[in-house]
Structure 1
Amino acid sequence: MTEQYRLATLEDAEPLLAVTVDAYETIRALNIPFPAGHATLEVIQNNIVQHECYILEKGGEIIATVTLDRAEDLQRQAISPYPFIRWFAVSPAHKSQGYGSKLLDWVEQHIILHKLDAPAVFLATATRHPWLAPMYERRGYEPFHIKTVQTPERQEEIVFMVKTLDPSRYKTPSVQTG
């Protein structure tokens, strides 16, 4: 079966919702307040329209997804000038088969490095999640900033991580505080 990498369309919203809800079960179980963990069909549709939501499809089935934030988010720009990826999810039926790595590799190389001409990419995750930060570190992401955010239930510590894609043009993010 052929693997296909592409932007999601609104017709993909329902299967994307299923993949996202299933993949974010751990996030919900840990009570980490990430929006993707509590996504609805409307939230998925908005994500597709407002950002670049990429999917890896095999045999017509969505296997993995990741979103490249294209919003002009001034708060994120204060943390890093590089593209921000979020909402990474792999269908639980296809975990540990390399599909998530393939999709991230494709987005990092074809979209972020070549299409956007950005020398790096960054993301954020909760520090208390037991395996996400170490997984990203194995992929070459390095922590560069920790921020504490207040949620209704608790203070949540978020780690921002950056991956250099072109070392000759990369400049370390200087986080603005205040």
Structure 2
Amino acid sequence: MGEIYRLAELKDAERLLDITYRAYETIRELGLHWPAATADLELIKDNVATNECYVLEIEGIVEATITLSRGEEIKALTELPFVKWFAVNPDARGRRYGGKLLDWVEENVILGKLGASAVTLATAEKHPWLVPMYERRGYERILELDPQNGDGTMYLMRKKLIDQPTTIQRG
């Protein structure tokens, strides 16, 4: 079977809840108010149903997930595609499943399907390794904001996928 990249289905919700809850342990310890960190099964199902939630399945088992937001809440910050709810099975650390899934979504969905030349995400300054990890992957900080909810400084980060003006196909 190998590696399969696909849209999540509602039947994946329990596995996604397990992965996300365990992967977001540091987020909860830091007291960050990220919905994915405290999601229940209904919120996971809602995410799968209302957004484009992608998974990387290895030998028939979902090991990583990432969501391309369709929500209007991000439109106040950016018109670029926005990824969120990125989680990798903590038992699979070091296998690059997260990097492979993020690469696949950037290349095949954001650039290939949407025709967008850049992608955005948001993360917290106080997280010990997320900002440097995304910077190593080519993301740059483009906006600092404080949501006034105790999370402190958040960064909107952008990665240019190709060097040309950003376009988004509508339709």
User: Alpha-carbon deviations, 1:59-108, whole Å to 9, x = none?
Assistant: 111110000001233xx223222100000000001112111000000000
Displacement after TM superposition at 1:31 (Å): 1.0
Aligned counterpart, 1:100: 98
Q: 1:132 to 1:155 in 2, by over 3 A?
A: closer
CA distance in 2, matches of 1:130, 1:170: 31
Aligned counterpart, 2:159: 163
User: Percentage identity across aligned positions?
Assistant: 50
Secondary structure at 2:158 match in 1: strand
Aligned counterpart, 1:84: 82
For structure 1, the 5+ residue unaligned runs are 172-178
CA distance in 2, matches of 1:60, 1:122: 29
CA distance in 2, matches of 1:157, 1:123: 14
For structure 2, the 5+ residue unaligned runs are none
Residue type matched to 2:159 in 1? K
Displacement after TM superposition at 1:149 (Å): 1.0
What's the TM-score once normalised by structure 2's chain length? 0.94
Displacement after TM superposition at 1:155 (Å): 5.1
Where in structure 1 do 4 or more consecutive aligned residues deviate above 3 Å? none
Aligned counterpart, 1:175: none
